[in-house]
Amino acid sequence: KNQVEQSPQSLIILEGKNCTLQCNYTVSPFSNLRWYKQDTGRGPVSLTIMTFSENTKSNGRYTATLDADTKQSSLHITASQLSDSASYICVVSAYGYKLSFGAGTTVTVRA
């Protein structure tokens, strides 16, 4: 069973609207949580990295939150743009290099 579950599997939003992606994890012990953006045919690119003590971190129009007690994270996209169309992957690190990947949420932004 995957230790990182993401929802929804996919979503479609209109340009300019906001959306929130969810990530629940069971990975233990916990070191850090990362959100990656993966454009079609490209490798994942890091958006944010949060450690246990961080509740929120922003990168431009992307804001990630973390609740280490409930083992939940969210990624909020503000004022979506067509270029935000991609797969967003939640990644949890137990220790060092060992990363557990969610299956991703595919976001489609339509004009």
Q: Which parts of this chain interact with other proteins (CB under 8 A)?
A: 2, 4, 31-32, 41-46, 49, 51, 89, 93, 95-104
CB closer to other proteins out of 46 and 56: 46
Sort strands 10-14 and 105-110 into parallel, antiparallel or unpaired. Answer: parallel
Q: Both tokens of residue 29?
A: 């012990």
Distance CA(108)–CA(86), nearest Å, equals: 7
Q: Give the Cα separation of 110 and 100 in Å (integer).
A: 30
Minimal distance, residue 81 CB to other proteins, in Å:
22
Query: Smallest gap, in angstroms, from Cβ of residue 25 to other proteins?
Result: 11
Quick one: 6 or 80, whose CB is closer to other proteins? 6
Read off the amino acid at residue 26: T
The residue (of 43 and 111) whose beta carbon lies closer to other proteins is: 43
Q: Which is nearer to other proteins, 48 or 80 (CB)?
A: 48
Least gap, CB of 37 to other proteins (angstroms): 11
